[in-house]
Every structure is written in C-alpha cells, then in structure tokens.
Amino acid sequence: MEAVLLEGPGSLRRGQTDAVVAPAGWVTVKPLFVGLCGSDIHLFDGQIPAPYPVAIGHEIAGLALDGPLEGRLVAIDPVEGCQECDRCLEGHENICADVGIMGGTRHGGLAAQVTVRGERIHPVPDGVTPQLAATTEAVAVAVHAVSRSRLRPGDVVIVLGGGPIGLMIAIAARDRGASRVIVSEPAPPRRKLAQELGFETSDPRDDADALTSYLDSRSADVGFDTAAQASLAPTLTHLVRSGGTVVVVGGYGGEQPVDLRDLVAREIDIVGTRAITVGDTVTTLDLLARRGDEIGLLVDEVVGVDEVQAALERLRSGEATKILVDCSGLQ
Ligand SMILES: [Zn+2]
Ligand SMILES: [Zn+2]
C-alpha cells in the first residue's frame, strides 16, 4: 500500500509499504484526513527518533473498514502504552515508560490503511465533518491540559502562546466556563486569530497591557504555558494568584529554574501535561460537535499527500496554524 514515509531525518517521500493486517480485537481504518503539528516537524528534523521508514501522521480521522464501527467515520486515539504497567492499568497510558504513538513509533495516518486496537477508535458525531474530525487528537491535547488544570467555572485564564495548542486550550477553557481568557502571543497574525475567536490578547514583548497588569495583580486563577520560552520559566508562578495553578504544556528543551520560594509562599501548583489519556477523545468529540465552528477557524488549509513537506515548512514558520492532509491520493 502507499504511504508518506519518513526515511530518515529530512527525508520524506511517497512510497510503498507492506499491507496491514489487523490482529484479533484490532480494526482497519482508511485515513481520510490527517492533521500535521509540531511533533511531525520534530520527527522530520530527527529530534524525535523513529523506526525508519515510518508513515507519519498521528492526528487521524478515517473510515472504519471492519469491526463494530464498520462504515463509520471515526477518530483515532493514537497514544499506545504497554498495557501492562501500573500507569497503563490505571488508564494513564500517556505516561507509560514505554509509550508509543502511531505516526511516530509505528506507522501512522499518512497511509492507505492503518490498524488500531478496537477501543482506540471513536465514532464521530453527526455534523462533524471528516476534516474537523482530523483535529480531534490535537484538540484532545488541549482538553487534557485543561483537565489537568482543575479549572472551575468563572476562573480567569492566561494562555502563553497563541499557536494551535494555545488557541485550542483557550477554546476548551472557555467551554469549561472560564470567565475571561487572555492569550499572550507576540505574532500579530496569531493575536488577530485569537481576537476573532473572541479572546483578549496581549503582546508579551512590548505592550504594557493586559498581561502585564495581570502579572502584577497576579489575578489569574489558571495559567497555561504553551510557549516554552526559557526566559519565562523563572517567572511562571507569577502568572497566577495565590493558590493558582500553572500547567506546563510546551516541551522545554532542557532543565529550567523555577521560583520555588514563590511556589511555596503562595501555594502555587505547577503541573505537567502530556498528550492525551483515556476519555479525552470522547470529551473532545463532544466539544467538536458543539464548538466546531470555532475550532474550524484554526484550520488554514487542506493539502494533498505530495505537499506534506512544504506544509511542515509553513507550520514551522508560523505561517499556518493547522494544516490537514487529504489522504485520498494514497492507494
Ligand atoms: Zn499533533
Ligand atoms: Zn505501560
């Protein structure tokens, strides 16, 4: 079958790979649309090692070809733990020491067919298009981050970074009842998009505006750091009020200093969040059914399977927020 294969760092090409066969309890899915994100760029660059050649693509919506959902549009949960360790058994496969992901540690969605354990596919609600369904995994990352924050209705939220995950977190936080959401983002096009979505915005570089006053008054209840800027790490606790929570979403390249004195003095919680876990996909599909118009604004373009590399470059430059690949060209 055809696939878009990463053959090594910087080497992506359309080629042939072995046909897939679903073991017992697994199902076969024909990917229809696949979303691209920063993880795909890290894979392409070789920052994340992979078993080359591997078909990339972990944000997958497709048609179930067999199993109980045969013929249905489904979204795939691509995070795969070992199924045996304590973390997996308690439903936290995302923090399994042996966690893998479709489109990273094994073939993913940019292929004519994929196989996946039956419980990892979820029916897409009526009214959610296959394109929108391909954002499910990315939105689920935001939904997971918001669940880690223990956000309560009425809370004030600051999001550092107005990229795709930052904006999806803003949408998910508003859906959970946040009374105000401020998105701090230096790039004007991203601030504009955040404003179109109805969020307050701030330029962290040169505006003495909303974010600064929030930082001074420390009045946010919850902060999300999707920017992972090393210069911000020492002041992360300052984002929130006493007793507030900071969720670190972005992947920092190395160790960072944190203001532990402030953390103790004001009982700040700093929590990490990684990928998605059991239940996030179902919650996300419900969110997509209700707020699909908002999330759809994040999708800039749909490209063909021969344009994946160019699309990754547009994502890297920040020119695009979310790009989907139409997989119909793969036989
Ligand atoms: Zn992704
Ligand atoms: Zn495990």
Q: Write the pLDDT tens digit of every residue in 89-118.
A: 999 999 999 999 999 999 999 999 999 999
- The ligand minimizing its distance to the Cα of 135 is 1
Mean pLDDT of 41-56: 96
- The ligand minimizing its distance to the Cα of 41 is 1
Task: Please measure the distance between the N-terminal and C-terminal CA atoms of the chain and give it in whole angstroms.
Answer: 6
Other CB atoms within a 10 A radius of the CB of residue 22 amount to 18
* Separation between Cα atoms, residue 241 and residue 215, nearest integer Å: 9
Q: What is the pLDDT of residues 252-287, one digit of tens each?
A: 989 999 999 999 999 999 999 999 998 999 999 999
- pLDDT, residue 219, reads 79
User: How much distance in Å is there from the Cα of 89 to the middle of ligand 1?
Assistant: 24
User: How much distance in Å is there from the Cα of 39 to the middle of ligand 1?
Assistant: 6
Other CB atoms within a 10 A radius of the CB of residue 196 amount to 10
User: How much distance in Å is there from the Cα of 257 to the middle of ligand 1?
Assistant: 27
Per-residue tokens: 28: 């076969």
Please state, for a pLDDT cut of 90, what percent of the chain lies above it: 89
User: How much distance in Å is there from the Cα of 92 to the middle of ligand 2?
Assistant: 8
Of 214, 156, 148, 226, nearest in space to 190 by CA: 226
- The ligand minimizing its distance to the Cα of 86 is 2
User: How much distance in Å is there from the Cα of 158 to the middle of ligand 1?
Assistant: 22
* Separation between Cα atoms, residue 109 and residue 314, nearest integer Å: 20
Cα-Cα-Cα-Cα dihedral sign, residues 48, 49, 52, 55: negative
* Under 8 Å between Cβ of 137 and 109: no
